[in-house]
Amino acid sequence: MKLVHLSDLHFPVVLPFSSLKGKMIPGYLNYTFRRRKKYPISLWNAIVRKVNLINPDAIIISGDITNVSHWKEYDESKKILEPVLSNNTFMIPGNHDRYTEEATGYSGKEIPYYEKFFSPWMGETVPTKSGYLRIKKIGKLTLVGWDSNMPLSVLNAYGYVKEEIVHSTLEYLEKEKLDHYFLICHHPIWNPPERQESSGHRMKNREEIAELLKKRPPLAYLHGHVHTNWVKHPDPQKPYYVINSASSTRISDQRHQSGFHVMEWNEKQLQVKRFSYSEEQGEFTETQTISYEEKETNGR
């Protein structure tokens, strides 16, 4: 079984300045001046070509489709994503997709934009007392989606997942006898030593979550949010792969090793391959994974 993991697509959608409100204004200015030229649409077109060649059993997108959660960004992103949207697609939101109160549905009073546009590809909802838990089964593998995001001030981008969601996830997997699963969540559960996040950017309670996951660990934890790729191999503290495919559509530079991962699972082993954009060829080509083994990470 082959799975493609994409993340942090941050599509370059131009917005009328007059339509921006509140934190969207500094957010959009920041994006326009610092990021937009790093995200040419030609990289997305090259991803689509490569994904078509790979012909995967599942395409997983771990959030940050938009930049400031503007309705127009959602509308255009859906059109841009169209070539990869099928029964085999599984998407979760990132913090940029839950940027404002309006986009998140004013605390549950209205349908959030992400759900309005992408519900058919977000999996089935597992009922919980409160919170987001979505599931999609692909053959013998279950994909579990969490939402670690909430609208925050423009200076913050941290994440949080209620412990109750972890309990509900593990109970559901046990009840349904689903032994093999991937967990997909926008915020990292682990960072390489040289790419630690500040408390305003990281998932606040990730160590508590990691502790609870020990009861029934996933095969892999797929995420984005920090815009450089990595793969952590299973270790005693976190006995699963941690795979970061952010930011798949960005031009690489010294601080940002962009690309995406393809995982092959044969019901026993998981093999991870990385693809990055080659300027020379104008295509994504297989390249070395940026791997962290147990001895290097010392069980972090």
The site for Fe ion (CB under 5 A) is made up of 8, 64, 94-95, 225
In angstroms, what is the minimal distance from the CB of 247 to Fe ion? 6
CB nearer to Fe ion: give 160 or 283.
160
Q: How far is the CB of 160 from Fe ion (least distance, A)?
A: 13
Can you read off the two tokens belonging to residue 144?
Answer: 């579990």
Cα separation, 222 vs 198, in Å, equals: 20
**Residue 191 corresponds to which tokens in the numbers above?**
């960072």
Taking the complex as a whole, how short is the minimal distance between the CB of residue 81 and Fe ion, in angstroms? 16
Q: Which is nearer to Fe ion, 93 or 141 (CB)?
A: 93
Sequence-ordered list of residues with C-beta below 8 angstroms from that of 171, at least 6 positions apart, any chain: none
Minimum Å distance from CB 89 to Fe ion? 19
**Which C-beta is closer to Fe ion: that of 64 or that of 147?**
64
Q: Exposure string (b/e) for 198-209, b if CB count within 10 Å is 16 or more?
A: eeebbbebbeeb
Q: Tokens for 277? A: 């954009």
- Tell me the closest approach of the beta carbon of residue 4 to Fe ion, in angstroms: 18
Cis peptide before 7 (omega within 30 of 0): no
Nearer to Fe ion, 95 or 297 (CB): 95
Backbone φ and ψ for 117, nearest 5 degrees, come out as -90, -35
- Shortest distance in whole angstroms from residue 67 CB to Fe ion: 9
Nearer to Fe ion, 228 or 297 (CB): 228
- For residues 91 and 141, which CB has a smaller minimum distance to Fe ion in the complex? 91
